[in-house]
Structure 1
Amino acid sequence: MGRIVISETITVDGVVQDPTGDDGFERGGWFNTIGAGDREAWALSEFEEAQSAAALLMGRRSYEYFMARGWGSRTGDWADRLRSLPKYVVSSTLEDLEWANSTVLRGEVVTEVSKLKEALDGDIVVYASGRLVPTLMEHGLVDELRLMVYPCIAGAGDRPLASAGKVRDLRLTGSRSVGDGLVLLTYEVAA
């Protein structure tokens, strides 16, 4: 059976919105506040996570974000790994997906993701899906949270974990520094 792992790049106050500042959010661009060394350490951590993943799960907007940033045609080990992974995209509007090994999940989200968990073994990693994450959390489908915490406070913006329905108990299973300024927190979500 697969495990749903939410992997978020997040500010100290829980904001995930517009990390690169490309979407015009007035408080966006916080990803760019870290130095080159931290960015390299972050990229290595993300690559390691991709290496251990069995599949990726994302919403339509996240899929389009990755495609707009060229992940479908980038070169390098990390891009090659993401291209080779099976990718499942929750969408009622997308038809033909350009990114290799991508499949649209149609129908009711909870049912489709539950079927996916049953069909796969290993970690099904969810990157930056601000609308999908609350739904998965609310319905008890998330097994683990991996939060890459950036050393800044946005003060406003989308906080998908804040709208995840009822209170969820978490158990810290790992914490480590990434570079000089980032922290990776890993939590198991209590059943």
Structure 2
Amino acid sequence: MGKIVITSNVTLDGVVQDPDGAEGFARGGWFHQYVGAKDLEDWVARETREVLGAEALLLGRRTNEWFADRMTARNVAEGRVSPEWADSVRSLPKYVVSSTLKGPQWSNVTVLGGDVAQEVSELKRKVDGEILVYGSYQLVRTLIEQHLADELRLVIFPVVLGSGLRIFDESGDKKPLHLVETRKLGNGLVFYTYEFVPS
């Protein structure tokens, strides 16, 4: 049975929007602005361990495009992306939820174009192990609302933005969670793992 793991970088006040500044959000670019070399070193090590332990990725259309654009050999050669992490992301099976995606931009992509809850439930039955969800916040909200998400992993960045898109902006019901792990990354990041408590 597959396990849906939502994994995200987030500011202290819960903002997940535009961490690299590429989306043009006025307060974007916070990922690199508030961390040091040791923080990034530990972040890369954690991300790499996580993806090496995964069986698949589940992505929304825009996040799929973002990753396809950044996991290129050129970005790896220029040091923008960890080679081991990029190789793992490229090689994993990727399931993209989209009703409009026609031609996937990279390898190992299966488009899920039907009913999201039904398709993801079937994916969980088919895949044995962790299915990571990066970004994809519209999809993430659907997974949470439909009680399909099993675990939430957050890396908290030491900044308060005051506004911006949050994972739980439009949550319909209370969502009880169970804290599994908390630890410091580098000198300024904190990593939390929560399990969703079945209702």
Taking structure 2 as the reference length, the TM-score comes to 0.92
Instruction: Provide the residue aligned with 1:2 in structure 2.
Output: 2
SS of match in other structure, 2:26? coil
**Per-residue displacement from partner, 1:36-88 (whole Å, max 9, x unpaired)?**
2211211111011001111000000101111232x144542111111111100
SS of match in other structure, 1:171? strand
Structure 2: segments with no counterpart, 5+ residues: 77-82
Please tell me whether residue 148 in structure 1 is matched to residue 148 in structure 2: no
What does 1:109-124 correspond to in 2, within 5 Å?
A: 109-124=116-131
Root-mean-square deviation over aligned CA pairs: 1.1
Name the aligned partner's letter for residue 142 of structure 1.
A
Are the equivalent residues in 1 in contact too, given 2:65–2:105 (CA < 8 A)? no
CA distance in 2, matches of 1:14, 1:123: 24
How far residue 17 of structure 1 moved from its aligned partner, in angstroms, is 0.3
Taking structure 1 as the reference length, the TM-score comes to 0.96
Instruction: Provide the residue aligned with 1:54 in structure 2.
Output: 55
Are the equivalent residues in 2 in contact too, given 1:137–1:165 (CA < 8 A)? no
How far residue 169 of structure 1 moved from its aligned partner, in angstroms, is 0.4
Instruction: Provide the residue aligned with 1:190 in structure 2.
Output: 197
Instruction: Provide the residue aligned with 1:37 in structure 2.
Output: 38
* Percent of paired sites with the same residue: 51
Name the aligned partner's letter for residue 145 of structure 1.
L
What does 1:129-140 correspond to in 2, within 5 Å?
A: 129-140=136-147
Instruction: Provide the residue aligned with 2:16 in structure 1.
Output: 16
How far residue 164 of structure 1 moved from its aligned partner, in angstroms, is 3.0
SS of match in other structure, 1:160? coil
Name the aligned partner's letter for residue 120 of structure 2.
V
Name the aligned partner's letter for residue 143 of structure 2.
L
How far residue 100 of structure 1 moved from its aligned partner, in angstroms, is 1.5
Are the equivalent residues in 2 in contact too, given 1:175–1:184 (CA < 8 A)? yes
Please tell me whether residue 108 in structure 1 is matched to residue 109 in structure 2: no
CA distance in 1, matches of 2:48, 2:124: 22
**Per-residue displacement from partner, 1:9-35 (whole Å, max 9, x unpaired)?**
001111000001111101111101211
**Per-residue displacement from partner, 1:87-120 (whole Å, max 9, x unpaired)?**
0000111112122111111111111111100111
Specify which of 179, 182, 187 is matched with residue 175 of structure 1.
Answer: 182
**Per-residue displacement from partner, 1:132-163 (whole Å, max 9, x unpaired)?**
11100001001000001101111100012232
SS of match in other structure, 1:161? coil
Structure 1: segments with no counterpart, 5+ residues: none
Name the aligned partner's letter for residue 23 of structure 1.
E
